[in-house]
A and B are shown apart, each in its own frame.
Chain A
Amino acid sequence: MKRAKIGPWIALFLGTLYFIVPLIATFEFSLRMRRGEYSFDAYAVVLADARFQATFGYSTALAFATIVVGVLLVVPTAYWVNLRLPKLRPVIEFITLLPLVIPAIVLVFGYLRIYNSESWLPMTSSERLTDLLLTFGYVTLALPYMYRAVDNGLRAIDVRTLTEAAQSLGAGWPTILFRVILPNVRVAVLSGAFLTFAIVIGEFTLAALLDRPAFGPYLQLIGANRAYEPSALAIIAFGVTWACMGLINVVGRASHGQTPKAP
């Protein structure tokens, strides 16, 4: 069984070729802006573009807001279900999988119809409220990943004993949640957070249809109008995704090695 055959090597070689060549080609293309020689001009142009800075900053802020709301929503719920309502687990798990079933474009279509400016809850009537709606939309998109990460983390610790120990020492619910449970699942929460960041930072559909100045629509706009900048942006986006996934591995390895996988 341990003898290495030629077949696996061919499969791995062709796979590597398919995955690496586009990255090399994109990088090479991004260096071609100056005629006749390689340069980082395209990166300089992109990074100096005020719209790049504005949209990247906007999406970063939105990603952080999404992570905060997501953690505040998911951690107490998953904790409570583990502690008191284990019978609800299948229902909650089913709901957290729904965003994988309902395409994002359908979801935002519903938002635009329900929360339009003349509805009972006009969340698209001002920019701030639309930002809030977009954040909630991103929390929904990230829900399958965040919930799974946190739930795995909670299952790996003894929630009941920790709770009872904290209670017998006189801790109230906020103390238990934020000073006992949250620190114990921080690896899981961080994994979910980095994955959320990777999803939100370049998201296109929701931001475009809610008409907010996010990084995803900016990428599309540059792609339609420029030659070399899109490649530089693709390399930057790949770097951000790589950083998020790398950080998940780093925090996972730093503790018990529990890394949530994509479902």
Chain B
Amino acid sequence: MTQSASPQALSSRAPGFSLSRVSWDWLGVVPFFLFAILFLILPTAFLVVGAFQDSVGNFTLRNIANLTQPSIVAAYWISIKVSAASAIIGGAVGFLIAYAAIAGGVPGWIRPTLMTFSGVASNFAGVPLAFAFLATLGRTGLVTAILIKYFDFNIYQHGFNLLSFWGLVLTYLYFQISLMILIMAPAIDGLKREWREAATILGATTWQYWRYIALPVLGPSLLGTTLLLFANAFGAIATAYGLTGSSLNIVTILLFAQIRGDVLHDQNLGYALALGMIVITGASNIAYIWLRARSERWQR
């Protein structure tokens, strides 16, 4: 509010100077835009344009059509399934934990502890996270060993494998749950206690309170944050690479191999592969931003 109503800078009011002041203000953001164009816009635009070109530069849609090769479709599909599973489970579990810590009537020290830990855990991704889960649930991991020793139950003889779809999901949950907790906490704070009290006074059951008040208010942030988690998992590579090497065929690992050694034997198909990733993460991020704007109506 100070920006629109405040007086102009002292020097700028002199007549005849105002025009030159207005027209040169934009110079201050030139370095930023230059940086953004060189290291964000141009590299992305190059891939997007390349996805619609053949090897000599003519316009074509063949690269996009070639994305339907079975191996590429399979890679996208595994990525989508891993991201969706880790986003939905992580979103639900993260929300329950955040709600328990904030509105569950537990002692006051739990919330700041949880938030600090979530800040750490959401940044503890990549190769070290893979190591941690290998030491926990790998073939010689601690939990695996304890289950064999004390319960005579070998999870690897009962269909579990850390280097598999569910193993990857279980590992991703470490940063997905913590990210969910971090982002949902302000939204849960936005649930006013008066609403709950008013509903109770009017005779609403707990189910009715959730069904008609809490979930409609929280809905956009819940859905939006889950989409953010989806994009977060979809673009990840280091955790999967550290966990399984290149054996699990997710799309980031395929793209990694394509960048290193042109495994698709078609540079422009590689660009199309990247474009497909941008479209998927872009769509879920835009939906997240839109839903967040909607949910902020309730947080005034």
Contact = CB atoms under 8 A, between A and B. Distances in A.
Interface of A: 1-5, 7-9, 11-12, 15, 18-19, 21-26, 28-30, 73-74, 76-77, 80-82, 84-86, 88, 92, 95, 97-114, 136-137, 139-140, 158, 160, 163-164, 167-168, 195, 198-199, 202-205, 208-209, 216, 219-220, 223-224, 230-231, 233-234, 237-238, 241-242, 244-246, 248-249, 261-263
Interface string B86-112: 000000010011011100111000100
Contact of B131 (A7, A26, A137, A205): A26
Interface residues of B, number: 89
A106 B272 CA distance: 11
A104 B234 CA distance: 11
Those 6 A-B pairs whose CB atoms lie nearest each other, nearest first: A110-B43, A8-B104, A103-B235, A8-B100, A25-B142, A80-B28
A103 B47 CA distance: 13
Interface centre among B11, B96, B183, B245 (most CB of A within 10 A): B96
Contact of A107 (B44, B117, B242, B260): B44
A110 B46 contact: yes
Chain A residues touching B, majority SS:
helix
Nearest to A100: B285
B132 interface: yes
A107 B45 CA distance: 10
B104 A5 contact: yes
Contacts of A77: 28-29, 31-32
Contacts of A113: 43, 46-47, 50
A19 B121 contact: yes
Nearest to A84: B25
Interface of B: 2-3, 6, 9-11, 25-26, 28-29, 31-32, 35-36, 38-40, 42-44, 46-47, 50, 93, 96-97, 99-101, 104-106, 110, 114, 116-117, 119-124, 126-136, 141-143, 173-174, 177-179, 182-183, 186, 193, 196-197, 231, 234-235, 237-238, 241-242, 245, 252, 255-256, 259-260, 270, 274, 277-278, 281-282, 285-286, 289
Contacts, number: 266
Q: Dominant SS at the B interface?
A: helix
Given A203-B126, A245-B119, A137 B39 contact: yes
A246 B47 CA distance: 39
Nearest to B243: A223
Contact of B96 (A11, A28, A136): A11
Contacts of B127: 202, 204, 216, 219-220, 223
Contacts of A22: 132-133, 135-136, 174
B237 A106 contact: no
Given A80-B28, A106-B274, A234-B135, A140 B122 contact: no
Nearest to B112: A249
A261 to B, nearest CB: 6
A106 B278 contact: yes
